[in-house]
Amino acid sequence: MFKLSSAARLVSAAFLVASISAPAFAAENELTVAFKRDRYSVDEEKFTFTVRRPAAQIVETAVKPDANFLPEPLLFKSWDYVDGVYSITLREGVSFSDGTPFNADTAIAALKLYDSGRSDFLQIDPESFEKSGPFSFNFRSEVGSSLVIENMTHRATSLFLTGTNRAENPIGTGPYLFENYVPNQSLTVKRNPNYWGEAPNIDKLTFRFIGDDNARLLALQNGEIDIIGEVTPQMLLSMPQDGSVILHESRPIRYVALLANLNGAAPFDIMHDYKVREAIAWSIDRETIASVLYAGRGIPAKGILPGWMFNLGDNHTDGFGYDPKKAGEMLDAAGWVMGSDGIREKDGRKMTLRLVAAYPNVSSVKPMPEMLEQMFLAVGIDIDLVEVDDSGVYSSTYLKPGEGDLFMEFASNNNTDPTYLLNNLFTTKTPWASYQLTAPGPHVDAMLEQARAAQTRDEVIEKVRAAHRAIVQDDLAAIPILLVPNFTLSRPGISVPMSEYADWVDFGQVTLSD
């Protein structure tokens, strides 16, 4: 919760009795932000400590996203890309928090460290680094991508000082310093007094992990915390309307969609039929779902990338309305005949689909799975609903082995690479192996390969539009449902600088009016 430190309270008390000529002291302020769970990993193969939400701002990325979803200079001052070679000029006058200079040597070492992890999606050729000056260097993409810089807006690519134990004391160039970490309980950071950039407004940030949604909301109302950084639909439904809790939101950015198992083996092979996928798309009443969930702030989706993002526009996808009669006719045409029990059958097989909900957790989308279950039942589809509240279980137990027909996801394209989401979820060559079952095939692979190799932004966006349409319309690998803003909740008197990127909500720049 927001409070003055003990030292500040003593100073305040002393000030009351001291001479008016006594020196003034600035009160230290603290802020407590609650998230649902501790998702950090200190495994070097998949290291995310302090950079996965909540991003603690101990370390920084090379570039950051601007309001138009383009990369903006941060640690990189400028860059160029010509004939497959990236030429980088670093910002001068920057040091790591222990005083180590940030220069070409330490930047290259930090990028190589990230490259060594299993989750590497920058895909820089580690042998291609070439120092060209104290604050400049060159490199190549190992896959010929023209979008490496855009991918560097992802917090996971933050640059750590190498040669240290970053699992115990991460050192970076950011506005905060590591203070304390208790796994599954809290992470505390304090202001870096030697930060090279704009100083944060908040001196100390504590991120608490409170798993129960009601407990997080109650902690906010009781003054135990100041902000809730992870807000679920159930919390919005139960949010008091008396002004004691303030809702902050971004533009709609996150999608809720059903990913179809296009390549699964029996019994999870029903979604191979496009007619079935389209019937499901027409059987969803998006307007009703939008009115119930996310405080009515969600909008019916025509895709999984909002039209305002990357200047994609809204006209390259058509979307699907709510037409259960049309859905039924499509299922009839696909040979699925309505049975006497209200469940369709084909060749002696009941139309039962396993719906796995959800990524990152089912609480982020409830009660949508139950609403969909009733909508699908109305057209003769029986749903085997599996609710999962852990992204690891979702991926390893269900998605990767293909143990489901439909997979509900609540996510977003969370960096400025327009191909990032589509390439990782819907290509046969995805670095995220769990998603190979959702890949439509070589034609989508080709579109995204061309987009990633294109030399101009206009060419990139043209190919991304085509791939996006294929994924959400022509192939229906993803059945869009809603587009939703990012949300935070706070006590009154707090202004949160919201971002469409959940990891870029800057809690250090929160302003306090009381």
Give the chain's mean pLDDT. Answer: 92
- CA-based diameter of the chain, in Å? 92
304 and 330 part of one domain: yes
User: With 60 as the cut, is the pLDDT of residue 474 above it?
Assistant: yes
CATH of the domain at 237: 3.40.190.10
pLDDT in tens, 130-161: 999 999 999 999 988 999 999 999 999 999 99
Instruction: Indicate whether 301 belongs to any domain.
Output: yes
The 3-state DSSP class for residue 362 equals helix
pTM of the model: 0.85
Residue 116 clears pLDDT 60, i.e. is over it: yes
Q: Is the pLDDT of residue 8 over 60?
A: no
Residue 449 region by backbone torsions, left for phi larger than 0, else alpha for psi between -120 and 50, else beta? alpha
Q: Are residues 111 and 140 in the same domain?
A: yes
Structural domain contains residue 22:
no
- For residue 201, tell me if it sits in a domain: yes
pLDDT above 70 for 5: no
Rounded to whole angstroms, the Cα distance separating 154 from 324 reads: 40
pLDDT confidence band for 3 (50 / 70 / 90): low
Instruction: Show the domain range for 180.
Output: 29-34+175-251+487-512
Please say if the pLDDT value at position 25 is more than 80: no
Query: Are 491 and 452 members of one domain?
Result: no
Which pLDDT does position 119 carry in this prediction?
63
- Give domain status of residue 206, yes or no: yes
Confirm whether 76 is domain-assigned. Answer: yes
Strand pairing class (246-249; 487-490):
antiparallel
Rounded Cα–Cα distance for residues 146 and 460 (Å): 9
One domain for residues 443 and 391: yes
CATH number at residue 408: 3.10.105.10
Residue 17 has pLDDT above 50, yes or no: no
pLDDT score for 514: 65
**Amino acid identity of 26?**
A
Same domain assignment for residues 270 and 393: yes
Is 346 in the same domain as 476?
Answer: yes
pLDDT of residue 19: 37
